[in-house]
C-alpha cells in the first residue's frame, strides 16, 4: 500500500475516480449527486452524469437542459456541490464548485459528441418540472438550443476513506491543493 500519510496521493486517488467517471459509464463517479441552492434558498439535489473532468484546471463538466430548475438555481447562486461514493474504494468525495452556464456556439463541440439517442434529454416540452395532464403528455424533440454545459470549477474537496483507520482530508484551490488532514 502507498504511504497513507501522503496528502497528494490521497488527492490523486480522488481524481483517479473522477476521471474514470467520465471514461467508464459503469464507474461510481459517473453519476454524482449534484446539489444547488434554489432561488428561494432551499437545498436541492439530483443525480447527473459526469461528462468532463480535468485535474490540471480543476474543472468538471455536466450537461443539462437550459430550462431545468438547476439552471434557474445556478443563475441566482452559481455554486454547486457534488457528492460521490466509490464503494470498492471505500471513498467519499465531496466537492464545492463555482459554475458557469454555457450555451450557444461555445458548446457546439460538446453537442456534436452527444449521441443521437441522448440528444432527446435536451428540449423536453413542456419544460421539465411542469405539471402535465397525464403521465406521457410531453415530448422530447432534441432541441440543440436547450443544450447547456455546466462548467464547474472546483474550489474545495473533502475526501474520506473508510479504512481500518479512517482518513479525511480537505483540499482547497486557494492554496494550490496543498491539503490538510482532518479528524474524520
Ligand X SMILES: Cc1cc2nc3c(=O)[nH]c(=O)nc-3n(C[C@H](O)[C@H](O)[C@H](O)COP(=O)(O)O)c2cc1C
Closer to ligand X by Cβ: residue 7 or 154: 154
CB of 153 to ligand X, least distance (A): 18
Residue that is written with C-alpha cell 436541492 in the block: 44
- Is residue 167 within 8 Å of residue 184, measured between CB atoms? yes
Closer to ligand X by Cβ: residue 93 or 159: 93
CB of 2 to ligand X, least distance (A): 32
Residues in touch with ligand X (CB under 6 A): 31, 44, 46-49, 62-65, 68-70, 128-129
H or E stretch at 91: strand 91-102
CB of 63 to ligand X, least distance (A): 6
Residues 6+ apart with CB under 8 A from 59: 52, 53, 151, 152, 153, 154
Q: How far is CA 32 from CA 59, 63, 80, 144, in A?
A: 15, 13, 12, 24
- Is residue 152 within 8 Å of residue 35, measured between CB atoms? no
Cβ neighbours around 67 below 10 Å, total: 19
CB of 62 to ligand X, least distance (A): 6
CB of 70 to ligand X, least distance (A): 3
All cell numbers assigned to 125: 416540452
CA–CA dist 49, 14 (Å, integer): 17
Closer to ligand X by Cβ: residue 31 or 120: 31
CA–CA dist 119, 116 (Å, integer): 5
Closer to ligand X by Cβ: residue 4 or 43: 43
CB of 129 to ligand X, least distance (A): 5
Residue that is written with C-alpha cell 497513507 in the block: 4
Amino acid at each position: 500500500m502507498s504511504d497513507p500519510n501522503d496528502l497528494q496521493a490521497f488527492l490523486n486517488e480522488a481524481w483517479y475516480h473522477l476521471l474514470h467517471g467520465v471514461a467508464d459509464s459503469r464507474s461510481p463517479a459517473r453519476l454524482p449527486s449534484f446539489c444547488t441552492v434554489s432561488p428561494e434558498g432551499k437545498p436541492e439535489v439530483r443525480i447527473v452524469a459526469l461528462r468532463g473532468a480535468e485535474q490540471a484546471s480543476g474543472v468538471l463538466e455536466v450537461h443539462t437542459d437550459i430550462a431545468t430548475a438547476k439552471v434557474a438555481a445556478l443563475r441566482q447562486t452559481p455554486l454547486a456541490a457534488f457528492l460521490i461514493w466509490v464503494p470498492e474504494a471505500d471513498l467519499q468525495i465531496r466537492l464545492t464548485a463555482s459554475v458557469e452556464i454555457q450555451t450557444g456556439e461555445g458548446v457546439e463541440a460538446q453537442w456534436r459528441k452527444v449521441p443521437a439517442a441522448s440528444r432527446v434529454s435536451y428540449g423536453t416540452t413542456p419544460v421539465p418540472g411542469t405539471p402535465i395532464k397525464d403521465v406521457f403528455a410531453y415530448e422530447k424533440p432534441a432541441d440543440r438550443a436547450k443544450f447547456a454545459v455546466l462548467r464547474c470549477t472546483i474550489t474545495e474537496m473533502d475526501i474520506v476513506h473508510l479504512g481500518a483507520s479512517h482518513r479525511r482530508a480537505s483540499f482547497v484551490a486557494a492554496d494550490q491543493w496543498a491539503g490538510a488532514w482532518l479528524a474524520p
